[in-house]
Amino acid sequence: MTTGEKMKDADTIFRELKPAALDELAGDAHARRRDGDLARAMHAPAARRRRARRPVLLVAGVAAAACAAAGTVVLANGGEPASRPPAAGREAVDARTFLLASATAAAKAPAATGRYWYNRQRTSGEVGGYRTVVVGKGPDARKVKKKISYRASIETPGEMWLARDQGKGRKISGPEKLVFPTAGDEAGWRKDGSPRLVSGSNEKRIWEGPSRPSIGNDEVSFKELAALPTDAGRLQAVLRDRYARDLKDSENPFTGTFTVYLWETARDLLAGPITPGTKSALFKVLAGQPGIRMAGRTTDRLGRPGMAVTVKEAPDGGANATESRLVISAKTADLLEFGVWESGYGAGVTTYEKMGWVGALGARL
């Protein structure tokens, strides 16, 4: 279970951190109190805000792949960073405070159900570093790496209907679209000969058949998702058990820490049909963990306001630092966006446009 595999959300939606040392009664009271603290801090004049003490960044095993969302861009080791994570405003609110406030907001959401879980999203993989070009003709032809001096992203829309009880679902992906951040970047691409940077067809691809959500390496039923604990301690115990099993998986063993496993699993669960109680418990588990920092206010690629929480790692001592980022609505605790940035490899971002229950295959929110 790699980050690159999980960024391909048109095919998989569902796929971590120190045991939560939160006393449940104290934690619930703290969450309610911090909810008000968060609201006041976010609306307080900048001059009155105190600089937050940043937690120690976690060095763990988050594995990122260049433009994995699109799965099409050819990049080479040592390429220039294609982008940085979008800048977010500094806040006096720390990650724990925000996540506990999110737990309170999530618990207030009305419970709902339906025949299909619907998810509409847009993945974006940024072009950067180098592209492969063919030099020469016939037997003398050879492939070489050509440095790209302009910026572009490959955007792919996708929709998914997951049916209960392994009924027939549907997945739609594409068409891919090349997007440039500035007119100058597009001019640079045209000067480069307007190379085809998307690998697949420009057509919409549709798949229908039975499908199930998953947690880690295991597929699960909707009934199992609905039965996930609403108590933070018990939910963490369930996820630790799954982590222990995935470590021993003979075909696809997970090689990262529990921290990474929980972070990635949280991202997938937040995009899926879990109950408000489980969602609230998940935020509480995350709130008790080290290695998560608050990046502050930001907007997703649709312009929606949210708060960004991040985890960083440097697997080789810093040469290829990776940051993964969750953008969460401060009002509703809904997941808006997930992104991975890795030095020398560009960016992969999934923006969740709509998700929720619908009553019929093909119905949209």
The pLDDT score that the predictor gives to residue 316 is 56
Instruction: Evaluate whether residue 134 is within a structural domain.
Output: no
> Would residue 185 count as lying in a domain?
no
pLDDT of 139: 85
Tokens 């649709």 appear where?
302
pLDDT at 261: 86
pLDDT at position 85 is 59
In the numeric block, the tokens 């998702």 are attached to 225
Q: Is residue 100 part of a domain?
A: yes
β-strands 130-135, 142-147 pairing: antiparallel
- 145 found inside a domain: no
Residue 282: phi, psi to the nearest 5? Answer: -60, -45
pLDDT per residue of the chain (365 residues) written in tens, 0 to 9: 444 444 444 334 333 322 332 233 233 333 333 344 344 333 333 333 322 222 222 222 222 333 333 333 333 223 333 345 555 555 458 999 999 999 999 999 999 999 999 999 999 988 767 787 787 888 888 888 888 888 888 999 999 999 987 789 999 999 999 999 899 999 999 998 888 887 666 789 999 998 888 899 888 999 999 999 999 999 999 999 999 999 999 888 888 778 778 888 999 999 999 999 999 999 999 998 888 999 999 999 999 999 999 987 665 555 667 888 999 999 999 999 999 887 656 679 999 999 999 999 999 99
For residues 96 and 18, the answer to whether their CB atoms sit within 8 Å is: no
Residue 77 is assigned to a structural domain of this protein: yes
pLDDT for 86: 56
- Domain holding 238, by residue range, is 3-127+154-179+201-358
Query: Beta strands 142-147 and 293-299: pairing type?
Result: unpaired
Residue 96 lies in a domain: yes
Token reading at 290: 């080290």
Q: Which residue has the tokens 């891919």?
A: 176
Which one-letter DSSP state was computed for residue 94?
A: -
Residue 117's pLDDT is 96
What is the C-alpha separation between 185 and 67, in angstroms, rounded?
18
Q: What are phi and psi of 20, to 5 degrees?
A: -65, 120
What stretch of H or E contains 352?
A: strand 346-358
**DSSP-based three-state secondary structure for 240:** helix
Judge whether 47 lies within some domain: yes
Helix (H) or strand (E) holding 270: helix 258-270
Domain count, the chain: 1
pTM: 0.73
Residue 195: inside a domain, yes or no? no
